[in-house]
């Protein structure tokens, strides 16, 4: 009874949904780790690797002995006849006498063992197995690198949108306070209603921006979840130390571009090696195929079915088989020419890829340097905008400045802060593009 209880409990527990290891509040490293383990495209690439390994095993399985056994049983409604010379004494009038050449019931079998000693196709499969595995592995690495880049960009996009929301919330709090102050001054007859109405307009605009940002961030979270392989129902909140944002933007801009570090270039070289091997395959496909074989052919026959398998008349033999391709309708020549053209095409692709990588690197580098300079200016603009706002607000409180200037300085400050965040995202994005262009992103 106790054993049955434990069996039921273990079955129940094993049928439960696995605990979701991803917390609701996630860091960048957690997002990347989860994506590398759960993203559908990466899983497909890993499955493609497994499929490639199986295909290689299938291709080289011909090196192993091939065993076959065929059997049949048949009944002759009219048995074939054979003519034999008439040697009777005294001779009859006919020179030949006809006799049945087989019994009415026949059952034959054929057991064949074949061992390939040399085959150009099998040699080619064995020769290219390493490159095919490497190609599949490189495709997986390429998927992981793209996922790493896309998840990082999406993470920072969400993070900086949340920072924009914080800026807007702070601005709304200031505007609400200013609105109360302006309305109080109006009620006391110290100002006309234009001041608090202008504040009301600025407050409404800021609240509309906040609502728009709140709706936008939902879509950005959806993109982040999709890139990570997270179900849409999962609630996520990004977590990042904002003080470290600026420390994340620096990268060595003096590095030299090395094409060999790019996974796309490595993939192209692997394809070039595979195509070169294919040229060799067709070039040497005139070499004969040599194999050894062994046959054991049991034969049972009898005029009575019940006694068919009483006696066996077997045949046994072994030997070598040499297959020489003499003429294949120019198939080998045409395939060789085609393989050479495909090799030339891949070579052109390699040259074009190098040009593309160089262009991508140049654009990423100039974009990063340009955005970094703009970020310095934007950061300084925030400092200046804050000083202007504090000064104008102080002068307005003393009755020196008009309230319109307060609204303008408030708008300038919000614009400077939002512009800084936008440029910061551009810097982080261009930095990621530069790292990818340099081939510095490595997935352990």
Mean pLDDT of 210-227: 91
Q: What is the mean pLDDT of the chain?
A: 85
Tell me how far CA of residue 152 lies from CA of 184, 188, 245, in angstroms: 48, 54, 13
Strand intervals (E) in 283-431: 289-297, 299-302, 315-323
pLDDT, tens digit, 9 for 90 and up, residues 3-34: 433 333 343 333 333 445 788 888 888 999 99
Half-sphere exposure of 130 (CA within 13 A, CB side): 4
| Structural contact between residues 167 and 244, judged by C-beta atoms closer than 8 angstroms | no
pLDDT tens digits for range 123-144: 999 999 999 999 999 999 999 9
Instruction: Please calculate the CA angle 379-165-405 and round it to the nearest 5 degrees.
Output: 60
Quick one: average pLDDT of 383-394? 87
Give the separation between CA 13 and CA 397, rounded to whole angstroms: 69
The CA distance from 424 to 273, in Å, is 43
Is this structure's pTM higher than 0.85? no
How does DSSP assign 183-194, residue by residue? HHHHHTTSS-HH
Do you find a cis peptide bond into 435, omega within 30 degrees of 0? no
Rg, C-alpha atoms of the chain? 41
pLDDT reported for residue 133: 95
Closest by CA position to 45, among listed 145, 153, 150, 149: 145
How does pLDDT run across 50-78, given as a tens digit for each residue? Answer: 999 999 999 999 999 999 999 999 988 88
CA-closest candidate to residue 76, choices 99, 105, 101: 105
pLDDT greater than 60 at residue 313:
yes
**Helix/strand/coil for 297:** strand
């Amino acid at each position: 009874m106790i054993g049955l209880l434990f069996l039921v409990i273990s079955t129940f527990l094993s049928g439960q949904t696995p605990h979701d290891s991803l917390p609701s509040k996630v860091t960048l490293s957690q997002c990347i780790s989860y994506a590398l383990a759960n993203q559908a495209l990466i899983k497909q690439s890993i499955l493609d690797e497994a499929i490639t390994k199986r295909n290689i095993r299938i291709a080289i399985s011909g090196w192993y002995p091939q065993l076959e056994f065929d059997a049949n049983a048949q009944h002759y409604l009219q048995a074939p006849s054979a003519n034999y010379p008439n040697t009777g004494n005294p001779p009859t009038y006919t020179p030949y006498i006809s006799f049945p050449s087989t019994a009415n019931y026949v059952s034959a079998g054929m057991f064949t063992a074949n061992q390939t000693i040399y085959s150009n196709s099998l040699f080619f499969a064995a020769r290219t197995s390493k490159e095919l595995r490497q190609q599949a592995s490189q495709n997986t690495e390429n998927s992981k690198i793209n996922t790493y880049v896309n998840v990082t960009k999406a993470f920072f996009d969400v993070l900086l949108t949340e920072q924009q929301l914080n800026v807007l919330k702070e601005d709304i709090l200031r505007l609400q306070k200013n609105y109360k102050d302006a309305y109080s001054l109006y009620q006391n007859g110290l100002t006309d209603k234009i001041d608090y109405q202008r504040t009301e307009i600025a407050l409404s605009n800021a609240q509309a921006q906040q609502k728009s940002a709140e709706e936008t961030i939902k879509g950005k979270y959806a993109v982040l979840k999709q890139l990570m392989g997270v179900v849409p129902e999962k609630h996520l909140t990004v977590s990042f130390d904002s003080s470290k944002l600026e420390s994340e933007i620096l990268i060595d801009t003096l590095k030299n571009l090395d094409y060999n570090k790019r996974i796309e270039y490595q993939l192209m070289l692997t394809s070039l090696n595979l195509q070169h091997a294919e040229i060799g395959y067709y070039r040497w496909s005139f070499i004969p195929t040599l194999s050894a074989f062994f046959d054991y052919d049991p034969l049972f026959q009898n005029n009575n079915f019940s006694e068919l398998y009483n006696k066996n008349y077997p045949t046994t033999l072994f030997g070598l088989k040499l297959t020489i391709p003499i003429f294949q309708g120019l198939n080998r020549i045409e395939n060789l020419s085609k393989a050479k053209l495909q090799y030339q095409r891949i070579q052109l692709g390699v040259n074009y890829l190098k040009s593309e990588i160089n262009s991508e690197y140049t654009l990423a580098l100039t974009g990063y340097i340009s955005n970094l300079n703009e970020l310095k200016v934007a950061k300084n603009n925030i400092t200046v905008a804050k000083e202007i706002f504090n000064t104008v607000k102080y002068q307005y409180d003393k009755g020196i400045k008009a309230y319109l200037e307060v609204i303008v300085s408030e708008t300038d400050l919000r614009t400077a802060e939002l512009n800084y965040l936008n440029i910061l995202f551009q810097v982080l994005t261009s930095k990621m593009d530069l790292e990818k262009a340099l081939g510095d992103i490595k997935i352990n």
